[in-house]
Chains A and B, each alone.
Chain A
């Protein structure tokens, strides 16, 4: 295939935009889980997250013909709904001051071997991270959420935020440092040591 050939995302989007139900199903199989998990983090689990996921997919479907394949499809789809996601995120931050992480996410957390104490520690650490994120500025919290907690690539995060990759890297580094200090002050040095490995030494 030559260099100018359209990306698989673009081909898939074109087929789905042409009304091919199988292409839409394939697109959902690839991306709906990512949309849903991000919606859970933006809106909290339950009906709100489901509604947000549906809204994201609806906007994606309605705008598929505008997709040019220059950015990853998932990031492009979420950029279409960014204002909506931000609105949900703000209201979730307002309403859930004490417990930001969804109980469903905590319940799905791997046990970490047979040690129940280790599992409890992980839950505590995850709660601490989310609570610290709630106290941080939205821009910083968002980039950590996408990159570290959702596992997005730098290119996808940059495409979603509509920023250059270099800016995302520097913002991420600052956000991680701030998060580290907040989690350390919350859990103490011993509790936070399992988190944030080599953060000071490794920029991004």
Chain B
């Protein structure tokens, strides 16, 4: 005889509802599965009956054809291939958890950009500055060596020195320009980012970014 809890569960159960008693009672779980299966089962319409019913319906107003386009039956070999997709070893991909709110919020994205700019800005500027210092040091070390060289190699060394000097000057100038540009860009970026950050309203979030992941082909055309 069914217990009071089982009777109550079966009276309240509808397919899809998650009641705690189902997990606790194997018999009620089997009952729930049977009800769900019965609710989800739809008998396929026999092909001949479907054709007859389609013929009764006639063409839809405005349809491009007054007769139905015939349906081809799935070839047997293909049907076998399709059934083999659901082999025991091959399971459906597990459901991916939804990304956390802080990933979906554009405010957080802007704040992260600002943080990265502030962190990496001085680092990159410092690297360019260190390069400039290294060039300066190399210049200081090469000059005494050249001055100490013998008289006969002076001419060759002078030509080499001229070429190296001009290259060194160009590099130094370019590095200094890069440093100035990077600093300028980071200042602009910081100012803009703060402006953007304030401009985005709190409630503006992308509800479900994974919907975009399916990829509409219209976008790729």
B86 with A24: CB separation less than 8 A? yes
Choice from A37, A126, A138, A197 contacting B59 with Cβ under 8 Å: A197
The tally of residues in A whose CB lies under 8 Å from a CB in B reads 75
Number of interface residues of B (CB under 8 A): 51
Do A2 and B14 have beta carbons less than 8 Å apart?
yes
CA of A10 to CA of B36 in the docked complex: distance in angstroms? Answer: 11
Chain A residues with CB under 8 A of B73: 33
Separation in Å of the A24 CB from the closest CB of chain B?
4
Main secondary structure of the interface of B (DSSP, over half): loop
Interface residues of A, Cβ cutoff 8 Å to B: 1-2, 4-6, 8, 10-12, 15-17, 19, 21, 23-26, 28-30, 32-33, 36-37, 40, 45, 50, 53-54, 57-58, 61-66, 79-80, 82-83, 86, 104-105, 108-110, 112, 122, 125-126, 129, 138-139, 144, 148-151, 162, 173, 176, 179-180, 183, 194-199, 202-204
- Beyond contacts A65-B95, A109-B69: 19 other A-B pairs, Cβ-Cβ < 8 A, are A1-B39, A2-B14, A11-B16, A26-B41, A32-B79, A50-B75, A50-B78, A57-B85, A62-B92, A65-B94, A104-B72, A108-B70, A112-B67, A148-B65, A149-B64, A149-B69, A151-B68, A180-B64, A204-B62
B residues within 8 Å of A by Cβ?
A: 14-17, 36-37, 39-42, 44, 59-75, 77-79, 81-83, 85-86, 88, 90-96, 214-218, 220-221
